[in-house]
Amino acid sequence: MNIYDFKVKNIKEEEVSLDQYKGKVALIINSATKCGFTPQYDELQDLYEKYKEENFIILDFPCNQFGNQAPGSNEEILSFCDAKFGITFPMFSKIEVNGENAHPLYKFLKSQKGFAGFDEGHELTPVLKKMLSEADPDYEKDSSIKWNFTKFLIDRDGNVVERFEPTEAIFVIENKIKELI
């Protein structure tokens, strides 16, 4: 099993198969438009522009499960991302990534790569750790998505290679992408 076995809905609610991305290196993200990590869209768009000609793709799945930071409709999210960040990589319909209503794609991704830990050097790490440990002292032990902008790196064969938490520096992610391209 790999990501090509899944169907998802694009931002316009049309069903698409992820097998259309066969042969590409992919970065799958769960995003939010009103998050402290939302400025990562700039870095992600730059990364996409830099490597898209080398069969690299970013697949963006908005999610409102973390602090209600993606409250808009699909149309509002698309409009915001276009106007504020000029996003040109594929965006998909808002989904849930945790819990019983988690999208099957995210259930698969989490089964392949568990929580990777936060970058201790990132300014938001203490905030995330405090908030998550207050909600669940054992949060580090399960594979759930912890916050917006968690990223999964997928190889050309559709296999999950690595998971990056939202605090991971973009240059670390870029170096891993270059290894696969």
Letter for the amino acid at 60?
A: D
What is the spatial distance between Cα 117 and Cα 135, in angstroms, rounded to a whole number? Answer: 17
- Dig out the tokens for 26 from the structure: 């992919």
Taking a C-beta distance cutoff of 8 angstroms, is the pair 177, 45 a contact? no
What is the spatial distance between Cα 51 and Cα 45, in angstroms, rounded to a whole number? Answer: 10
Please say if 35 is a catalytic residue. yes
Look-up: residue for tokens 């999208």? 103
Active-site choice (11, 26, 27, 35): 35
- Active site positions, annotated: 35
